[in-house]
Amino acid sequence: MRIGILTGGGDCPGLNPVIRAVVRKALIEGYEIIGIKNGWKGLVENDTMALDINTVSGILPKGGTILGTSRTNPYKKEGDLLKAKDNFKKIGLDALIAVGGEDTLGVASKLSKEGLSIVGVPKTIDNDLSATDYTFGFDTALNVAMECIDRLHTTAESHHRIMVAEVMGRHAGWIALEAGIAGGADMILIPEVAIDVDEVCNVIKKRHSRGKTFSIIVVSEGAQFKGSEMVLQEKKLDAFGHVRLGGIGEELAAQIEKRTGYETRVSVLGHIQRGGSPTAFDRVLGTRLGVKAVELVKNKKFGKMVALAGIKIIDVPLEDAVKALKTVDMELYDIAKVFFG
């Protein structure tokens, strides 16, 4: 059996552990593994590389992906879909393991319905894929964000400043919420709840009234002000129809300083959250998901995605994983609000 594997969409820590696990498990089963380079773009362009035990040696602790990635969507450009299907046959694939988030697995789900033998593996630092409790990459991004918030505390306190930390999170505020709780933020602003600037400023003023001369505000990049649209760097859409977010932290900081008179600074964490070595949790989760993906191929359970349910690795229909985004658990947000201000 010849199995292909690709990694699509934004990179994140834990992709290489998945690749390593797929290769090692497949070799034990006697299968051949072909790496599809740069996500769906590699399948459209027939750009591949051989994967063996030497190729994946030493990649467990490395961030990013040795296969490369892209945001190519074969359904967006005329002719690309046909090329992808033809190359699936030309490469001689019996199955394909697609590793990615909502966009990559959305393509995988469509191709599966059109007859291709595909298994999905969930990846995104945003943790917004349905049908799985956690996606690998999230824990690493969360810990990076928490450490940055920890560091902001000391400089904010020294200079008596308000510090706004802008973290990733397009439609779901999981990183902001959990990093904010873990980092002791004084206010957490997420896409699921519109920002009331007056409320934010009141929290800051109350802190100052009781002797606290600094505050830490964590905001998701996709958060919105009441009655306003998303703050964008540019309105140009990528292949999956996404605009480029960015700037909510700067706009929020300006409004806070104007309304309160307190010096306010912003730190945008950006791609720092995506980079670097994966945590132990993400290495283990990625490994377990990779092994399970090969088992699904072996048992010809296609059109499925591997998922974490509690402490068990299970399989779920690909279409269930991508039909709706998994937004923040509001019970957890209510717990966070206990500590606001």
Catalytic residues: 126
DSSP state of 114: T
Rounded-to-integer distance, Cα 256 and Cα 270, Å: 21
Single-letter residue type at 329: D
Say whether 87 sits in a helix, a strand or coil.
Answer: helix
- Pinpoint the alpha helices (H) of 67-162: 80-90, 102-113, 138-159
Say whether 137 sits in a helix, a strand or coil.
Answer: coil
Rounded-to-integer distance, Cα 122 and Cα 102, Å: 8
Contacts for 92 with CB less than 8 Å, ≥ 6 apart: 2
CA angle 90, 96, 100 (to 5 degrees): 130
**Other CB atoms within 10 A of residue 77 CB:** 12
Rounded-to-integer distance, Cα 174 and Cα 186, Å: 16
